[in-house]
Structure 1
Amino acid sequence: MKKLLIPLFAAALLASCEAVKVSDNSTSNHTSPGSKDDKGFQIAYKAIKADDLKKNLYVIASDEMGGRDTGSPGQKKAGEYMVNYYKSLGISFPKTLGSYYQKVPAEYMKQRGGGNLPDSENILAFIEGSEKPEEIVVISAHYDHVGTRNGVVYNGADDDGSGTVGVMEIAKAFQETKKAGKGPKRSILFLHVTGEEHGLFGSEYYSDNPVFPLANTVVDLNIDMIGRDDPENRGKDYVYVIGSEMLSSELKVINEAANKKTNNLILNYKYDDPNDPERLYYRSDHYNFAKNNIPVAFFFDGIHEDYHKPTDDVEKIDYSLLAKRTQLVFATAWEIANRENRIVVDKK
């Protein structure tokens, strides 16, 4: 997650984060997440495994990747691993893009305060929907970190190695359903963005140069740090959820219903507070979708003692909790991708 605060744009975007009471009734005609009658969901949900998340994270956040600074050889090596992973699963890229890579030019980042960063790339994998392929559900995470400083590698296992492997695991889950003939009705874009640590550059570039029209983008579920706990919640099964009711009256309800029917994590809305001094709503990649009036939910584990330090290593990840949070994001995405109507945008 980006360390420095982004200038405030529109405080009016922030809405009340008063708790919503969730009914057991589904918000759509689609079978509720977790239902035993929903074979596709069950196939995918069971495919999300802590051991697989761990296997991928031990590569993505290894010393070999050199801390994955934007445009660095180590980041590109991590990107190659991700692309080969998607190829191995039979998950392709958006046809209009022509490859898994969307180049983010150095000049673009320089104009936005990116200094002398080299060219970098967003990585995009794509599963086409069976019934509403033109409508796009985006699941995002940044795969860059802060690199190597004074010879010390900042591996960024949690920030945002955890989100990166979470997106990869969710992609595997959706692909399992597609192979079983139970794939999502809407299309799913798995978006790994670059340049987040330097200024949300990759997600901004995508929103300025979308591969799919932003008008067709239903939601962005953004995952940035979901592998640890913070001192305030030590030992709890929880996750912070930010922004889920800022633009849509339905997204928070859907997410809470998905949570109740799966792992029933504690959903913490502390950082949804418009008076929150951390201003986290503006500090990760979901914001570049939100500012284009696309509903977002940002999943986050909090500011822990190893945040942006060289001690953010794979050995400190809680893989069981990482899997539960990944399952929650998947269950939310599943409902949004398969419900009869796209979620409403009814707030400003």
Structure 2
Amino acid sequence: MIKKILFLSALTLAFSCKTPKKSIKEVNPEKYANTITASELKDHLYTFASDEFQGRDTGKPGQKKAANYLKDEYQKMKIASPLGGDDYFQDIPSSFFNNKYNDSENVVAYIEGSEFPDQIVVISAHYDHVGMDAEGNIYNGADDDGSGTVSILEIAEAFKDAVKDGYRPRRSILFLHVTGEEKGLLGSDYYTKNPIFPLENTVTDLNTDMIGRIDPVHKDNPNYIYLIGSDKLSTDLHELSEEINNKYTQFDLDYTYNEDNDPNRFYYRSDHYNFAKHNIPVIFYFNGTHEDYHQPTDTPDKIEYDLMARRAKLIFYTAWEVANRDERLVVDKTE
């Protein structure tokens, strides 16, 4: 009996001395960011931007194959769909495209927040590309935007690993892979006109479109990423973005294309803009154009995978901070 009492006392002491679990605000996210690796990005992209996907043209068999690839990856990671069950597709009827293109779909996955589940952090990328030409040349779209697409898969996995350890983000995160970007931002247009979650509850859209290459301007200094839109609607978001980069990744943040007089008008040319039109703060992550832009030569062997992994980590860290800070981002400007 005495032995039993001593054993129970020791057990009670062991439990009482156990280190209390940290709050998510005290957690160092580097452990989870480091699950975003060049090798896993490369494995994904060599499949996703292969000839098998036929250039992922909107509504075509290759795009459907790409959509199923994304769905399968989310199911493997046990990341749920916000639509429920096995339905990871936000279906877009051909009529929305004025019958110019076949039916298509956005692909969506979701991690529910622990404290502010109604507030949504969107991480987006377009997974379509321009398909094949009349001669049968395949436009693989490894950088545009296979790089953004597979980076979101790795970012999602990092958040899921944190959830497994008991650190669920305070705000919900929607991983949004949109179709029809190359046809005129059509998939993101459909989402913002038919949102799964109310737009007024959407905190930000962090949009990733081409982060796997080095443009000619930076060939001698590849430690860069272009940021577009970060200060257009929210001083909070811009300052947070700068602080996160200084703390974790130390990129040279290039705002050349963020200028109001940018002749390229890149701010208006990717899917974040459909969110910005609704006064939702955005950041567009971009490596700039290069000689293989919209060419059959945009292939996965030309991607800088170590650099791409670091850029994806920056996006993860930024999303982590937005999702877990006490206050929702303040919108202090209008589009």
Q: Counterpart of 1:334?
A: 320
8 Å CA contact 2:58–2:129 kept in 1: the answer is yes
Residue type matched to 1:176 in 2? D
Question: 1:117 is matched with which residue?
Answer: 101
Alignment-derived partner of residue 108 in structure 1: 96
Report the CA distance between 1:95 and its aligned residue: 3.9
Shift of 1:43: 2.8
1:303 to 289, 294, 309: 289
CA positional deviation for 1:42: 2.8
| Pairwise CA RMSD | 1.4
**Aligned position for 1:288:** 274
1:200 aligns with 2:185: yes
5 Å-filtered alignment, 1:135-150, equals 135-149=119-133, 150=135
Aligned to 1:255, which of 241, 250, 268?
241
Secondary structure, aligned partner of 2:168: coil
Larger Rg: 2
Change (3 A) 1:222 1:97: farther
Which segments of 5 or more consecutive residues in structure 2 lack a partner in the other structure? 1-22
CA drift of 1:332 comes to 0.4
- After TM superposition, the structure 1 stretch with the greater mean CA deviation from structure 2, 229-238 or 96-105, is 96-105
Q: Which one of the candidate residues 27, 32, 56 is aligned to 1:38?
A: 27
Query: SS at the partner of 1:229?
Result: coil
Q: Distance in 2 between matches of 1:183 and 1:300?
A: 28
1:3 is matched with which residue?
A: none
Amino acid at match of 2:205: D
Q: Could you tell me how far apart the structure 2 residues matched to 1:95 and 1:276 are?
A: 38
Whether 1:83 and 2:71 are equivalent positions in the alignment is yes
Secondary structure of the corresponding residue to residue 327 of structure 2: coil
* SS of 2:235 mapped into structure 1: coil
1:73 aligned residue:
61
Contact 1:223 1:300 in 2 (8 A): yes
DSSP 3-state at the match of 1:259: helix
CA distances 1:103-151 after superposition (whole Å, capped 9, x unpaired):
11111112xxxx6210000000000011111100000000000001121
Residue of structure 1 aligned with 2:110, choices 126, 141, 146: 126
Percentage of pairs with the same residue: 55
Contact 2:24/2:167 (<8 A) preserved: no
- Deviation track 1:142-184 (CA, whole Å, cap 9, x = no partner) reads 0000001121000000000000001111000000000100121
CA distance in 2, matches of 1:63, 1:122: 21
Q: Tell me the matched-pair count.
A: 310
Q: 1:243 aligns with which of 221, 229, 239?
A: 229
> Where do 1:84-99 residues align within 5 Å?
84-95=72-83, 99=87
For residues 291 and 97 of structure 1, the distance between their equivalents in structure 2, rounded to whole angstroms, comes to 31
Correspondence for 1:161 among 115, 125, 146? 146
Opposite residue 74 of structure 1, the aligned amino acid is G
Residues 30 and 335 in structure 1, CA contact (< 8 A), matched pair in contact too:
no
Query: TM-score, normalising length from structure 1?
Result: 0.87
**Greater share of helix:** 2
**Preserved contact between residue 30 and residue 339 of structure 1 (Cα < 8 Å):** no
Partner of 1:9: none
Query: For 2:210, which of 192, 212, 225 is the aligned residue?
Result: 225
How far apart in 2 are the matches of 1:174 and 1:45? 9
* Structure 2 residue identity aligned to 1:71: G
- How many angstroms apart in 1 are the aligned matches of 2:207 and 2:277? 14
CA distance in 2, matches of 1:249, 1:49: 31
Q: 1:279 aligns with which of 265, 268, 276?
A: 265
Query: d(CA) in 1 for partners of 2:300 and 2:34?
Result: 23
Equivalents in 2 of 1:314, 1:192: separation in Å? Answer: 19
**Residues 222, 319 of structure 1: CA spacing in aligned structure 2 closer, same or farther, 3 A cutoff?**
same
Q: Find the counterpart in structure 1 of residue 332 from structure 2.
A: 346
Alpha-carbon distance in structure 2 between the residues aligned to 1:68 and 1:285:
17
Cα distance in 1 between the residues matched to 2:87 and 2:223: 38
